[in-house]
Amino acid sequence: MNELDEMWSQMLSQALESARVSGRHDVADYLNLKATNDAIRQTSVRWLFDTLIEIASEANRSNLSVSIEKSEPHSFAYRGANLVGSLIRFRYGVRCLTVEAGWTRTPTDGFMRGGALAFARLTHKGMPKANAEIALTTSNEAPVWKLVEDEKAGEVFRSDGLHRHFLIFTGS
């Protein structure tokens, strides 16, 4: 978690406690929901990135020489909204796989479409047909990443999908 996220979390906790003390249970409930959703978002984005880093690390142990760059905080436009989150970039020769993940943070950022908690975009440089967009949603109270576009929209996106994208990226 970066400093901005830590500060935001502290401010949210203080506001939540203040709302409870002043008897504003409606505000306290909203702030509690926001804190819970933010924790789910952060954990899910961390899983996405950690899984990809693990896949790249395995490839590097097999002498593939994949470089990894991470940028945080990172802002990117997504369907008319400004999302704030993280970016991770994998490079292998001239090939590049970029993964951006985030969510709206302020009212001026826009809104999350389709009830999603977060969005992520996997971009293969020079191979636009291989790109993917995924949305973090809840299914039976559990958070899941789901494909957003193409004929597989709505399909759950798991670690095997990340492996598939990594294989496309490396040309294996």
Per-residue model confidence as pLDDT tens digits over 91-140: 999 999 999 999 998 889 998 888 899 999 999 999 999 999 999 998 77
Q: Residue ranges per domain, the chain?
A: 3-170
Helix ranges restricted to H, the chain: 3-21, 25-61, 159-170
Reported as a single tens digit per residue, the pLDDT across 15-42 is 767 777 777 767 777 777 778 888 899 9
- Are the CB atoms for 77 and 85 separated by under 8 Å? no
Distance CA(135)–CA(119), nearest Å, equals 4
- Are the CB atoms for 97 and 169 separated by under 8 Å? yes
Q: What is the reported pTM?
A: 0.82
